Structure 1
Amino acid sequence: MSASRIRADRGHPVDFEFDGGTVQSFEGETVAAALLAVGVSAFGVTREGEPRLPMCNMGTCFDCAVTVDGQLLVRACMTDVQSGMSVTRHEAS
């Protein structure tokens, strides 16, 4: 099968909030996938101020940790988007 014939069907559009802005994503995507798709350059920062992005994308590390609806240290790569959810960057302390 040629690459031009491969087609991925996406779920229904879903909007959620990230750091005060609206992110348009699709049902069935993880928060990490949605944020990467819109070009978010950091999901949080280290104690040294370095940006953090997903590393493993399978839930074993916490490099993609964000805050979701007030819950700290949520792994973005393991969390499906939901309409209206509020996501913020994780700040290391």
Structure 2
Amino acid sequence: MSRIENHIILGDLEEKKEVQITVDGQVITAREGEPILSALLANGIKVQNISAKKHEPRGYFCGIGRCTNCVMTVNGDPNVRTCVALVEDGMVVETQDGLGKWEESK
């Protein structure tokens, strides 16, 4: 994993519990409570979705939840902004193709 351990403004990286999340079928290590996007970038995952119009890969852009570049399907819910959604142990994250699909409730 590659992370910034010491930031000139934010200081030292706070210790947090390591958890496992599944991204597109691959289990990765993340830090509980960090933004999903942080865990993805720390594990070398740069593409979060495929654009609906041009079918091109999209990823990190604003990092504050204002755009939709980082939306992914999280635990079956599409269009989750991964830059502001927080990691929970055992969550399932999938690269979203286009606008995403809502699964019908049973």
Q: Residue 39 of structure 2 aligns with which residue?
A: 34
Shift of residue 51 of structure 1?
Answer: 1.1
Work out whether 1:81 is the aligned partner of 2:71.
Answer: no
Shift of residue 9 of structure 1?
Answer: 2.2
Deviating above 3 A after TM superposition, structure 1's stretches of 4 or more consecutive aligned residues are none
Question: Once the two structures are aligned, what percentage of the paired residues are identical?
Answer: 31
Work out which structure has the larger RCO, using CA pairs closer than 8 Å and 6 or more positions apart in sequence.
1
Work out whether 1:63 is the aligned partner of 2:74.
Answer: no
TM-score with structure 2 setting the length: 0.77
Q: In structure 2, how many angstroms separate the alpha carbons of the residues matched to 1:8 and 1:42?
A: 24
Q: If each structure's helix is expressed as a fraction of its own residues, which one has the higher value? A: 1
Work out whether 1:90 is the aligned partner of 2:103.
Answer: no
Q: Provide structure 2 residue ranges, at least 5 long, that are not aligned to the other structure.
A: 1-7, 100-106
Q: In structure 1, how many angstroms separate the alpha carbons of the residues matched to 2:36 and 2:82?
A: 5
Aligned with 1:20 (options 16, 25, 38): 25
Shift of residue 46 of structure 1?
Answer: 1.2
Equivalent position SS for 1:16: strand
Report if aligned partners of 1:10, 1:27 keep a CA contact under 8 Å in 2.
Answer: no
